[in-house]
Amino acid sequence: MARVEFSDDIVTFKCPGCGWTHRLNTDPEIRPCWSFNGNLDNPTITPSINAWREYGGNRETQRCHSFATNGRIQFLGDCTHSLKGQTVDLPEITGGGDE
């Protein structure tokens, strides 16, 4: 079962830690650029994925910093969500369509 989607040189997956959909460019003509092993079932993406945003009235920073390796995702200690410091399986993409 696929854990990531790949089209137009972009790897996409729903992150079990922060709940966002991470979109990662693999086209070397465009920066930033990640390396993807091409395996939808057991993806490895390098270097690390470091996503953040400022959120809410007090502009609190939310951060998701992770390594996706062989179908698992390791969250580093500087994440602001509850899976920080843990390694979990990337969820499988189920069902058909986006509805």
Stretch that binds Zn ion, among 30-38, 40-48, 61-69, 86-94 (CB under 5 A): 61-69
Q: Is 79 in the site for Zn ion (CB under 5 A)?
A: no
Burial class (CB in 10 A: 0-12, 13-18, 19+), 89: exposed
Q: How many CA atoms lie within 13 A of 79 on its CB side?
A: 24
Q: Tell me, rounded to whole angstroms, the distance of Cα 78 from its chain centroid.
A: 15
Cα angle value 92/35/74 (rounded, 5°):
50
Stretch that binds Zn ion, among 1-9, 25-33, 57-65, 89-97 (CB under 5 A): 57-65
Q: Is 15 in the site for Zn ion (CB under 5 A)?
A: yes
Q: Is 11 in the site for Zn ion (CB under 5 A)?
A: no
Task: In whole angstroms, give the CA distance from residue 39 to residue 78.
Answer: 27
Smallest distance, Å, CB 37 to Zn ion? 19
Q: Is 18 in the site for Zn ion (CB under 5 A)?
A: yes
Q: Is 73 in the site for Zn ion (CB under 5 A)?
A: no
**Number of chain residues interacting with Zn ion (CB under 5 A):** 4
